[in-house]
Amino acid sequence: MTRKFPHVSSPITIGRTTFRNRIFSAPMGGTDITNDGCIGPKSTAFYELRAKGGAAAVTVSELMVHPQTDGSHAYHLDESILNSLAAATYTADAIRRHGAIPSLELSHSGQFAGTYMTDKSRQHGLCQWGPSEGMRPDGVPVKALTQELIDDIVKAYGHAAGLAKRAGFEMVMIHGGHGWLINQFLSPLFNHRSDRYGGSLENRVRFAIEVLQSVRTAVGPFFPIEFRMSGAEFTEGGYDLEEGIQIAQAIEAYADIIHVSAGTYQKTFGITHPSMFEAHGRNVYLAAEIKKHVSKPVATIGGLTDPAMMEGIIASGKADIVYMARQLLADPETPQKIMEGRDADIVHCLRCFTCMAERAATATRRCTVNPLIGRELDGTEIQPAPVKKKVLVAGAGPGGLYAAYTAARRGHHVILCEKESEVGGILKSEQAIPFKREMYELGKTYERLARQAGVEIRLNTEVTPAYAAKETPQALIIATGSR
């Protein structure tokens, strides 16, 4: 079979694990985390949707390894917690049965414990631990971890990894970037210790190596371990790409994949998660440079939505694996569409941050362009309607287009009317603004999907009461926009 994107569609083997393509689903945190840190059924369905869509690996995020020093409201894996192992096993099963490799991200927030709590007053009341004693920018005091606590946390990483393997996960990702605890040890911005964990790069990377060694002991020699790091921190006092290369070289003997992200907590959100004001793939050069200096496979991430760009990254040797997060919210079937050469059918992420904002506000996930997100348990397959109807849709903006598309997939005879000469509604106003052009193109994508589903689109046609009466539809959807 000749593929349109052969390099990104090709399998890759890490250890004894073969991944079906080079497109991995990046860590995205759960939303129905139980009070004792178990993975809820909504989150299981959320991760399963990425596996259904063709991703080669799906990373469940984040599992906090040491609750005693990390109060973040996130996943925990503990034999003493009822259903903890069972919930993790059900999630790993849900991912694996669709052919994807289930991976679990192991984390410690360090001095930013409680980040995921919606009640921020509780976060500020937690005892915060980091490499060094000091004060956070928001006035919260930080205690320095003792050697005894460091040893306990290192042991906890290994214990959690062993439980993850027992639960059916086939890879683990060690989160060593973005200002979390391992990154706090790596970074001169946070690490001011004068003992064997501070000062020189050799000392600052010691904690990361100890964590990786602990995990390797727990999971065995052929189980893939991925290390996620920031290629550079992009902030005064942090480390740059040159030192990022040295960090990658120091840890590569202990990891199977070096996952290169960017930035640090509270200071570089728009770089770590590139907004529409940043170029697509703006962090790829970090991975590309690090790859020149290491022998292990390198993964890259950062606003990747275009299959041609991803194909170019793999084909040119800038990275071995591409990661996506928000794009797989916008269209979970992106990997499958790439594999099948149906790139024109991909619904692209607008990088609007609705997903981020909603999680902070209500601890749920939502997506501007995909109504399934957050509602996966309601069913992700469009079911045939028991009674086929004639449906008239008034207005071919994004709402009308998607409603028509859904109705047609259910088997209805759908007529979509638009009084203008072009579909898209308010999205048409964005076509002249470069960083918003994807909004304009969204209308074209929805139009293509609607036509493929069998929708009859009538342009320059206004739906008046008389027009509706003449068409005699059995259902009328009014999507004429807001005022």
pLDDT at res. 481: 87
Q: Is residue 116 part of a domain?
A: yes
pLDDT at res. 423: 97
- Judge if 283 and 346 occupy the same domain: yes
- Judge if 407 and 354 occupy the same domain: no
pLDDT band of residue 138 (cuts 50, 70, 90) is confident
Report the C-alpha gap between 341 and 206 in whole angstroms.
45
- Judge if 361 and 424 occupy the same domain: no
Mean pLDDT of the chain: 95
What's the pLDDT tens digit per position in 383-442? 999 999 999 999 999 999 999 999 999 999 999 999 999 999 999 999 989 999 999 999
Structural domain including 196 reads: 6-377
Report the C-alpha gap between 372 and 364 in whole angstroms.
12
Contacts of 399 (CB under 8 A, 6+ apart): 425, 479
- Antiparallel, parallel or unpaired: β 134-135 and 141-144: antiparallel
Question: Where would I find the beta strands (DSSP E) of 23-100?
Answer: 23-29, 57-64
Report H helices in 220-272. Answer: 241-251, 269-272
The candidate with the shortest Cα–Cα distance to 181, out of 159, 154, 202, is 154
- Judge if 270 and 412 occupy the same domain: no
Phi–psi pair at 472, nearest 5 degrees: 45, 55
Under DSSP, the state recorded for 430 is G
CB 137 within 8 A of CB 126: no
Q: Which residues pair with 390 in a beta bridge?
A: 413
pLDDT at res. 126: 77
What average pLDDT does this structure show over 262-291?
Answer: 95
**Last residue of one domain, picked from the residues 346, 377, 408:** 377
- Judge if 370 and 390 occupy the same domain: no
pLDDT at res. 483: 75
pLDDT at res. 474: 98
- Judge if 66 and 160 occupy the same domain: yes
Between 19 and 365, residue with greater pLDDT: 19
Residue 59 amino acid letter: T
pLDDT at res. 172: 98
Under DSSP, the state recorded for 81 is S
The candidate with the shortest Cα–Cα distance to 416, out of 385, 461, 371, is 461
pLDDT at res. 193: 98
Report the C-alpha gap between 199 and 203 in whole angstroms.
6
- Judge if 437 and 302 occupy the same domain: no
- Antiparallel, parallel or unpaired: β 141-144 and 171-176: unpaired
- Judge if 442 and 335 occupy the same domain: no
Q: Is residue 409 part of a domain?
A: yes
Cis peptide before 210 (omega within 30 of 0): no
- Judge if 43 and 62 occupy the same domain: yes
- Judge if 201 and 99 occupy the same domain: yes
Contacts of 135 (CB under 8 A, 6+ apart): 141, 142
- Judge if 172 and 192 occupy the same domain: yes
Report the C-alpha gap between 296 and 299 in whole angstroms.
10
- Token reading at 27: 């860590």
What's the pLDDT tens digit per position in 212-249? 999 999 999 999 999 999 999 999 999 999 999 999 99
What average pLDDT does this structure show over 459-464?
Answer: 97
CB 338 within 8 A of CB 310: yes
Q: Is residue 483 part of a domain?
A: no
Q: Is residue 87 part of a domain?
A: yes
What's the pLDDT tens digit per position in 121-137? 777 777 799 999 999 88
CATH of residue 388's domain is 3.40.50.720
Report the C-alpha gap between 190 and 111 in whole angstroms.
9
**Last residue of one domain, picked from the residues 359, 377, 395:** 377
Number of domains in the chain: 2
Residue 118, pLDDT > 70, answer no
Q: What secondary structure does DSSP assign to 457-468, as a single string?
A: EESS----HHHH
What average pLDDT does this structure show over 77-92?
Answer: 95
Residue 120, pLDDT > 80, answer no
Q: Is residue 28 part of a domain?
A: yes
- Token reading at 283: 């962090």
**Last residue of one domain, picked from the residues 377, 398, 429:** 377
- Judge if 110 and 249 occupy the same domain: yes
CA angle at 143 for the pair 138 and 144, rounded to the nearest 5°: 125
Q: Is residue 354 part of a domain?
A: yes
pLDDT band of residue 11 (cuts 50, 70, 90) is very high
Q: Is residue 313 part of a domain?
A: yes
Report the C-alpha gap between 18 and 256 in whole angstroms.
13
Residue 339, pLDDT > 80, answer yes
The pTM of the full predicted model, rounded to 2 decimals, is 0.95
Phi–psi pair at 304, nearest 5 degrees: -90, 120
Q: What is the percentage of the chain residues whose pLDDT exceeds 70? A: 99
Q: Is residue 407 part of a domain?
A: yes
